[in-house]
Amino acid sequence: MDEDPKPAVEPLPSDGCIHVDDPRALTSQSPERRRASVAQQSTIPIREHCRPPAPTVADAWVSEREDFPVHMVKPGGDEPFLDRPHRNSKRAQLPSRHDALLPLRQPRDLHPQPGVSELSHDMSWISSDTPLVLPSECGSGEAGALLGSGRMANDTISFARGAPSADILPRDAVREAAAIALAEDWEKALSYGTGIGHPGLCQWIAERHGGLDAGQVMVANGSLEAGWMLFDHLLEAGDRVVVEQPTYDRTLLMLQRLGVELVPVPLEDDGLDVAALEAALAQGPIKLAHVIPNFHNPAGCTLSAEKRVRLVELAAEHDFWIFEDDPYRELPFEGAALETMFSMDKADRVIHASSFSKTVSPGVRVGYLAGPGAEIAALAKRANETYISPNMLAESVVLELCRSGALDDNIEFVKGALQARRDALVEALAEQIPEAEFVVPGGGYFLWLDLAAGTDTSALLAEAKGEAVAFVAGPDFMIEGGTNSLRLSFASVPPERIPEGVARIARALDRSRETAKIEAG
């Protein structure tokens, strides 16, 4: 007997909207109607007369940080650990874009002004990694300061977020990879895995690192999660742990929670001060040294080849772990990246971490660890006991990007875009804040600068809210000191917006010094 014919799909109203008077109506519609609506229009608009009022700065605050600021109690002291000469004379010429590179990718059909918060645009465009903080949650901190500023949030230029602006995210490549992953790898992508993550991605990473055994690799939900598991696995309260100064603020937070003794070691133009590390070793055993070797966050510097060799030697001699935290290695602006300490290690004392957040997008949340097989196996067991497996769907998509060559294409595109932003920032600083001293980063996302002695960058940040410009003050990355330093992320601001952003900081700097003079009497 023939099946009853399927009912015809009811056409959408002429305005392309689903008009919902009862909130239950949308979910009670037939699947055919819902599919038709999606096929006809990728989003379901709300009729203008029932659209809620456009959000304002009083309704919500789009955080400009890659995460919420970390507030830590720090001992006194106002002298920065870094004292570097100006490197403006060594900056590269502004590069021309190569025709072979991929075109800039525009988000959806919206075209917000690059480098500007999208808060005034359709709220559905806010990405899933952008936390919303209501005014009641802001208090007197960074978000609260902008809420009280004269400018609207949609005019803010943010050098604070350690994330790329939307125009350089590989939307089309990820969409294609996701379709292929769900067509060809759907069983693994949609099922539980094990603590190591997607075995195919582990194998690809092993090959990327010069032919490791796949058992030396585990994939996690971002390298930050992987680092936390590693710290919890290796460290106990009271262990002495070397941290660079400055260093990534989340590292400081995680280590403080574990109750370890932090041993600060300053950075130089070419990375960790090895002599200071040797002095720390002379004072007692070290359990682990956390090192960001390439295009440091926040300092922008790169650990020299000679220092890498010496650190690996010291780890073998003194039996401590090196955690080589290396998410920016694939983003050098000129030449090839230096050899990893992990590849130099013959004593099984180095564990390497990296991430696809910088080479694909932050939203994929895929990072990994590579290290001695026994330690990776123990960490994978811990991961399996904690969450069974990481996100297999995201890892399947990333694996397809890796295998197809789309990852390498995107890396080349992103490097070109980031280099143009770096050069625009260096030029703007030289012209508008000539007192700034910094190392010109050879890749990555960040530039760390020191202002004249006596400058308070936390006070400057508060003043900068009135100019609708954001950055991160130096003390956030220090155990102590850093009061006249700040970090600028050039990844989040397209080059044409950077001069205006720096001009706003310069105006805020002038005002903050005038205010300080008045208050001093």
Beta strand 217-220 pairing with 271-272: unpaired
Q: What is the pLDDT of residues 188-207, one digit of tens each?
A: 999 999 999 999 999 999 99
- Residue 153: its pLDDT value, please? 52
Picking from 361, 378, 404, the residue at the C-terminal end of a domain is 404
User: Is 175 domain-assigned?
Assistant: no
167 falls in which pLDDT band (50, 70, 90)? very high
Confidence check: pLDDT of 407 > 70: yes
User: Is 54 domain-assigned?
Assistant: no
What CATH number did the domain enclosing 70 receive?
3.90.1150.10
Picking from 404, 436, 466, the residue at the C-terminal end of a domain is 404
User: Are the C-beta atoms of 487 and 477 separated by less than 8 Å?
Assistant: yes
User: Is 129 domain-assigned?
Assistant: yes
Same domain, yes or no, for 322 and 243?
yes
User: Is 213 domain-assigned?
Assistant: yes
- Residue 370: its pLDDT value, please? 98
User: Are the C-beta atoms of 291 and 302 separated by less than 8 Å?
Assistant: no
69 falls in which pLDDT band (50, 70, 90)? very low
Same domain, yes or no, for 475 and 514?
yes
Tell the residue number behind the tokens 């229009």, with chain if given.
41
Q: What is the pLDDT of residues 453-471, one digit of tens each?
A: 999 999 999 999 999 999 9
User: Is 65 domain-assigned?
Assistant: yes
521 falls in which pLDDT band (50, 70, 90)? confident
Same domain, yes or no, for 199 and 340?
yes
User: Are the C-beta atoms of 381 and 196 separated by less than 8 Å?
Assistant: no
- Residue 24: its pLDDT value, please? 37
162 falls in which pLDDT band (50, 70, 90)? very high
- Residue 288: its pLDDT value, please? 98
Q: Tell how many helices (H) and how many strands (E) occur in the chain.
A: 17, 16
Picking from 372, 404, 436, the residue at the C-terminal end of a domain is 404
What CATH number did the domain enclosing 223 receive?
3.40.640.10
Same domain, yes or no, for 69 and 207?
no
Confidence check: pLDDT of 107 > 90: no
Same domain, yes or no, for 115 and 155?
yes
Q: What percent of the chain has pLDDT over 90?
A: 69
Mean pLDDT of 321-343: 97
- Residue 45: its pLDDT value, please? 37
DSSP code of residue 292: -
Dihedral sign for Cα 515, 516, 519, 521, please.
negative
Average pLDDT, the chain: 79
Q: What is the pLDDT of residues 199-234, one digit of tens each?
A: 999 999 999 999 999 999 999 999 999 999 999 999
Q: Cα–Cα distances in Å, from 118 out to 83, 97, 107, 162, 464? A: 37, 26, 11, 17, 19
Residue 167's DSSP bridge partners are: none
Confidence check: pLDDT of 488 > 90: yes
Same domain, yes or no, for 34 and 84?
no
Domain count, the chain: 3
User: Is 208 domain-assigned?
Assistant: yes
Which of the two residues, 165 and 92, has the higher pLDDT score? Answer: 165
What is this structure's pTM? 0.74
Confidence check: pLDDT of 142 > 80: no
Same domain, yes or no, for 205 and 296?
yes
User: Is 178 domain-assigned?
Assistant: no
Cα gap 392→220, rounded to integer Å: 10
- Residue 372: its pLDDT value, please? 98
Q: Cα–Cα distances in Å, from 387 out to 8, 93, 192, 193, 217? A: 45, 48, 10, 10, 18
Confidence check: pLDDT of 159 > 50: yes
Confidence check: pLDDT of 486 > 60: yes
Same domain, yes or no, for 154 and 86?
yes
Same domain, yes or no, for 390 and 421?
no
User: Are the C-beta atoms of 442 and 270 separated by less than 8 Å?
Assistant: no
Confidence check: pLDDT of 56 > 70: no
- Residue 147: its pLDDT value, please? 38
Q: What is the pLDDT of residues 353-396, one digit of tens each?
A: 999 999 999 999 999 999 999 999 999 999 999 999 999 999 99
Cα gap 489→421, rounded to integer Å: 9
- End-to-end CA distance of the chain: give it in Å, rounded: 96
340 falls in which pLDDT band (50, 70, 90)? very high
Cα gap 368→400, rounded to integer Å: 16
- Residue 82: its pLDDT value, please? 38
Mean pLDDT of 118-137: 31
Same domain, yes or no, for 373 and 254?
yes
Q: Which domain holds residue 133?
A: 61-169+409-520
Same domain, yes or no, for 34 and 9?
yes
Mean pLDDT of 147-155: 52
Same domain, yes or no, for 371 and 475?
no
Mean pLDDT of 512-517: 90
Burial string for 191-200 (b: 16+ CB within 10 Å, else e) reads eebbbbbbbb
User: Is 179 domain-assigned?
Assistant: no
